[in-house]
Amino acid sequence: MKVPVIKKEKQFAFIEDEPITPNGTDVLIEVRNVGICGSDIHYWDIGQPEGLILGHEFSGLVLDPGNRKDLKIKDRVTALPISPCNTCPACKSGNVQYCEKTWSNAVGLSSTYKGAFSKLIKVRPDMVVKIPNNVSFEHAALTEPLAVSLHATNLVNITKNDKVLVIGAGIIGIACAMFAKNKKASLVSVSETNIKRAKKAVSLQVVDKYYDATKEDLQENILKDTTYGYDVVFECCGTSKAITSAIQAVRPGGTIILVGVSTFPTTIPTSLLVTKEVTTKGSIAYTKKEFEDCLNLISKKKVLTDELIDKVITIDKVQDAFEQLTSKDNNAIKILIDQTKK
Ligand SMILES: NC(=O)c1ccc[n+]([C@@H]2O[C@H](COP(=O)([O-])OP(=O)(O)OC[C@H]3O[C@@H](n4cnc5c(N)ncnc54)[C@H](O)[C@@H]3O)[C@@H](O)[C@H]2O)c1
Ligand SMILES: [Zn+2]
Ligand SMILES: [Zn+2]
């Protein structure tokens, strides 16, 4: 069985997958669906770490329940890909998402637990969550990215008078906009360099309007719609240019939630942060409760699902899919891989 691994900048190689034997602790999962995430794209972009098997947004069937006595073979499951230590102060306070160990052993983001671009994966037993009967494998694979945005929007108190700006209309930005709308923000806007994606966000009715981030008069346009700037800005891109836009667009005394991840240090105008007394908060992943809350929202049909899935591909098309997702010409937001198809 061949599996794609990161080979070099923007390039996968297919190698023979290694078998996994049950170890009595971890849950062995036969993957059904796996999503391609913006973070996967960062790794693919830089071609590092070489040999990494990606895939941290997945659903599948239990092949071996490990030490989970409540699970049986063929149960439908998804899982948090993170790997918290459960003993540090962050873990003890319920904030497993910023435990120091959480990412070093994460599924599909480290070499400890290979990702779901492989058909068979093992997952920490305490991270496995059963999928409700009425939720499909495809929709369950959306739990992880939606939970990222639920967490980000839970970090700030959004009220009905607030104007909210999202920078970047990938799935993370679109879902932040969706949750901000659910909280009845008076205006939700998005700024995008890819206008097809921006228009899609409007057509999905998660944002009221969009700004073309490639235009020189971006800042002027943004400020026309607010008195002094946006109350809350979700930065869902991670580049220096996008973070700078967020700092310029937020009102004095406003809040920026940084969700976008940069793989290298970025330059930003800190003087504006200081003089506007901006509250800046990083947002990473989700708590286990937020992950489960998201699965419940999917089950209750309270969040977009089908609308976010552009296509479902077979694993051999993964290189094309990454190229498509990084093309400015494309409005695809989420591409899923179906691991049951050849
Ligand atoms: N903090 C977390 O827990 C967490 C979790 C998942 C993903 N992420 C990060 O969040 C970011 C978004 O993820 P995604 O899957 O939606 O990625 P994505 O690449 O699909 O979306 C990013 C969007 O930003 C747009 N963009 C680029 N430059 C811009 C600019 N200057 N102004 C406005 N828009 C611009 C791109 O056109 C793209 O549509 C990524 O950096 C990803 O690594 C963070
Ligand atoms: Zn992800
Ligand atoms: Zn910990």
Domain boundary among 282, 297, 318: 282
Summarize pLDDT for 98-134 with one digit per residue, the tens: 999 999 999 999 989 999 999 999 999 999 999 999 9
Residues 167 and 260 in one domain: yes
* Ligand 1 atom nearest to CA at 282: 1
CA 285 from chain centre, in angstroms, equals 8
For residue 38, the CA-to-ligand 2 centroid distance in Å is 6
Mutate to test the pocket of ligand 1, among 155, 236, 258 (most ligand atoms within 8 A of CB): 236
Beta-carbon neighbour count of residue 7 at 10 Å?
Answer: 16
What domain count does the chain have?
2
Q: Is 80 exceeded by the pLDDT of residue 342?
A: no
Percent of the chain whose predicted confidence (pLDDT) is above 70 = 100
Summarize pLDDT for 4-32 with one digit per residue, the tens: 999 999 999 999 999 999 999 999 999 99
Q: Which residues line ligand 1 (CB under 6 A)?
A: 37-39, 41-42, 148, 167-173, 191-194, 197, 213, 236-239, 241-242, 245, 259-261, 283-285
Residue found by looking up tokens 């669906």 in the block: 33
φ, ψ for residue 318 (rounded to 5)? Answer: -65, -40
Task: Give, as residue ranges, everything with CB less than 5 Å from ion ligand 3.
Answer: 84-85, 88, 91, 99
CATH number at residue 13: 3.90.180.10
312 and 337 Cβ atoms separated by less than 8 Å: yes
Residues 220 and 303 in one domain: no
Residues 141 and 241 in one domain: no
The pair of structure tokens assigned to 105 is 């052993």
Residues 101 and 115 in one domain: yes
Summarize pLDDT for 238-289 with one digit per residue, the tens: 999 999 999 999 999 999 999 999 878 999 999 999 999 999 999 999 999 9
CA 102, 141, 280, 264 dihedral sign is positive
Range of the domain at 220: 156-282
Please choose, from the candidates 123, 196, 141, 68, the residue with its C-alpha nearest in 3D space to the C-alpha of residue 309: 141
Q: 328: pLDDT confidence band, cut at 50, 70 and 90?
A: confident
Summarize pLDDT for 37-66 with one digit per residue, the tens: 988 999 999 999 999 999 999 999 999 999
* Ligand 1 atom nearest to CA at 191: 33
pLDDT value at position 170?
A: 93
CATH number at residue 271: 3.40.50.720
For residue 105, the CA-to-ligand 2 centroid distance in Å is 15
Buried-state track 290-317, b at ≥16 Cβ within 10 A, e below 16: bbbbbbebbbeeebbbebbbbeebebee
pLDDT value at position 262?
A: 86
Residues 96 and 227 in one domain: no
pLDDT value at position 243?
A: 97
CA 294, 298, 303, 309 dihedral sign is positive
Q: What residue owns the CA closest to ligand 1's atom 14? A: 38
Please choose, from the candidates 136, 75, 138, 141, the residue with its C-alpha nearest in 3D space to the C-alpha of residue 107: 141
Residues 20 and 133 in one domain: yes
Q: 87: pLDDT confidence band, cut at 50, 70 and 90?
A: very high
pLDDT value at position 232?
A: 98
325 and 168 Cβ atoms separated by less than 8 Å: no
Query: How far apart (Å, rounded) are the C-alpha atoms in residues 41 and 242?
Result: 17
* Ligand 1 atom nearest to CA at 172: 16
H or E stretch covering 121: strand 120-123
Q: What is the mean pLDDT of residues 88-95?
A: 95
* Ligand 1 atom nearest to CA at 37: 15
Query: How far apart (Å, rounded) are the C-alpha atoms in residues 298 and 304?
Result: 8
Ligand (nearest to CA of 84): 3
For residue 43, the CA-to-ligand 2 centroid distance in Å is 12
Task: Give, as residue ranges, everything with CB less than 5 Å from ion ligand 2.
Answer: 37, 39
CA 296 from chain centre, in angstroms, equals 18
Q: What residue owns the CA closest to ligand 1's atom 30? A: 242
Query: How far apart (Å, rounded) are the C-alpha atoms in residues 331 and 231?
Result: 28
Mutate to test the pocket of ligand 1, among 155, 165, 172, 335 (most ligand atoms within 8 A of CB): 172
Pairing of strands 76-79, 128-130: antiparallel
* Ligand 1 atom nearest to CA at 194: 37
For residue 273, the CA-to-ligand 1 centroid distance in Å is 21
Residues 8 and 142 in one domain: yes
pTM above 0.85, yes or no: yes
CA angle 324, 329, 331 (to 5 degrees): 70
Beta-carbon neighbour count of residue 35 at 10 Å?
Answer: 24
For residue 284, the CA-to-ligand 1 centroid distance in Å is 13
Q: 234: pLDDT confidence band, cut at 50, 70 and 90?
A: very high
Q: 329: pLDDT confidence band, cut at 50, 70 and 90?
A: confident
Q: What residue owns the CA closest to ligand 1's atom 15? A: 38
Residues 57 and 99 in one domain: yes
Helix extents (H) in 95-227: 137-140, 143-154, 171-182, 195-203, 218-224
Residues 140 and 86 in one domain: yes
